[in-house]
Amino acid sequence: MGTLPYLKIEFICDKISLQTKEIININIGEGKMKCKIFGILVVLCVFLCCASPGTKQAKIYQGQLETMIGKKIEDMEATFKDWEFSLMYTWEEENPTSEVIEKHNRPVVKFSEVEIQEIFSEEGKYRVLYFQKKEATTDASIGTITSGGMGYMQDTALASDRYTLIRAVFKDGLFTHYKVYGNVHQTNISGLKTIRK
């Protein structure tokens, strides 16, 4: 089975004015073909150029959470519910070691070694909750036409969901630490594997 050819896509993305139809040169090995991709630059703009909506929203959550340090876990769970966040995952452990914490680590929201030392340095019963909220969805379809007039990957659907994730830490039933992750994107391409970053 041969290896796939190397693809190099060259494009220019303007942060303000985007066209939904652009000519993109794709170099395949030594050959070159021209194709038209419809709608893809709109999604690329979300990923590459328009990070501000999620960033601004994350700062709003951070400001509100900062005032809630010390609240009971029941109160915080009610707050997240009011904010329309859903619980992704939770774990609890008394006096957790770094090995235990790393075992529970998840992509994107994992604790760094420095965070483990700072957050879990005191003895106590810890509970960690991970919440998510879908903020926006962007859909696009990709249609391509080769220089020979042949269709390629026509009507391929591209869907991008933008999430806000919150990691909340409780010690002995009280809210002690949080981290907000804005602009977490989950992308699906025509039923292929979901990619979150």
97-149 confidence digits (pLDDT tens):
999 999 999 889 999 999 999 999 999 999 999 999 998 877 766 656 556 65
- Which range has the top average pLDDT, 25-34, 57-66, 155-164? 57-66
- Confirm if 26 and 33 have CB atoms less than 8 A apart: yes
Residue 66 forms beta bridges with which residues?
A: none
Of the chain, the percentage scoring pLDDT greater than 70 comes to 57
CB atoms within 10 A of CB 71: 17
Per the model's pLDDT, the better-predicted residue between 80 and 146 turns out to be: 80
Confidence of residue 184 (pLDDT cuts 50, 70, 90): confident
DSSP string across 38-63? ESHHHHHHHHHT--HHHHHHHHHHHH
Kindly state the average pLDDT of the residues 46-56.
56
- How much is the mean pLDDT over the chain? 73
| CA–CA separation, 193 and 15 (whole Å) | 28
| CA–CA separation, 158 and 60 (whole Å) | 29
Of the chain, the percentage scoring pLDDT greater than 90 comes to 46
Kindly state the average pLDDT of the residues 12-18.
31
Kindly state the average pLDDT of the residues 80-93.
96
Name the strands in the sheet holding 151-171, side by side, starting at the edge strand that comes first in the sequence: 86-94, 125-145, 151-171, 174-189, 195-196
Per the model's pLDDT, the better-predicted residue between 132 and 46 turns out to be: 132
pLDDT at 69: 98
Per the model's pLDDT, the better-predicted residue between 129 and 195 turns out to be: 129
